[in-house]
Amino acid sequence: MPEPVLPDLLAPGLRLVFCGSAPGAVSAARQAYYAHPGNRFWSVLHQAGFTPRRLAPAEYPSLLGLGIGLTDMAKHASGNDDELPPGAYDPEGFAARIRAARPAALAFTAKAPAAAFLGRRTGALHYGRNEGPADFPPVWVLPSTSGQASRFWDARPWLALGAWFNETRAGAAAAQGWM
């Protein structure tokens, strides 16, 4: 199997893992998550209180120290959602990676990867907390931070997840039991 476009940033005991569709062309070229200058990911992470300052994309490994991980639904392809080849998403591989890491929560950074994993149409999903598999941590679906998704941008679900993240900081160890 080919190497992933970007390595997973996963470890046991994380409080939150963000999952995107696939690295865009700029992210793949720079070997850093959410590296396109028009992407809002790093600014909204700071705005929502996940990070103490706005991180640069190349600093993504430092998220582990904050209890945050990163992955993508398509590990072996890059580009915009409409450019991905058929079968690029790997929901089974994704599920195995998340079950191995056992984070306290999971957040999809767009509806497309969430729909692929949950087996639902994007229109059947809402932003915020969604019902996920019983053996999975709480699942959040967030508006895409991609500049191409600007017309759908709404920071409120990101801010709500940030509030949850910061409210549960003290009880993070207890949250590892899932349900």
Question: Distances in Å between the alpha carbon of 101 and those of 11, 17, 38, 88, 176?
Answer: 5, 9, 30, 22, 10
pLDDT value at 173 more than 60: no
Which range is least confidently modeled, 45-59, 92-106, 114-128, 165-179?
165-179
* Residue the block writes with tokens 């967030």: 142
Radius of gyration for the alpha carbons in the chain, expressed in angstroms and rounded: 15
Average pLDDT, the chain: 92
Closest by CA to 62, choosing from 11, 3, 4, is 11
In this prediction, residue 160 carries a pLDDT of 97
Confidence bin at 171 (pLDDT 50/70/90)? low
Residue 109 near residue 142, CB atoms below 8 Å: yes
Burial of 179 (0-12, 13-18, 19+ CB in 10 A): exposed
pLDDT (0 to 100) of residue 178? 41
Rounding to the nearest 10 degrees, give the CA dihedral for residues 4, 18, 142, 58: -70
pLDDT score, position 179: 36
Percent of the chain with pLDDT over 70: 93
Q: What average pLDDT does the segment 44-70 reach? A: 98
Domains in the chain, please, with CATH? 16-171 (3.40.470.10)
Average pLDDT (141-167) is 90
Classify the C-alpha dihedral 40-130-174-33 as positive or negative.
Answer: negative
pLDDT tens per residue across span 89-143:
999 999 999 999 999 999 999 999 999 999 999 999 999 999 899 989 999 999 9
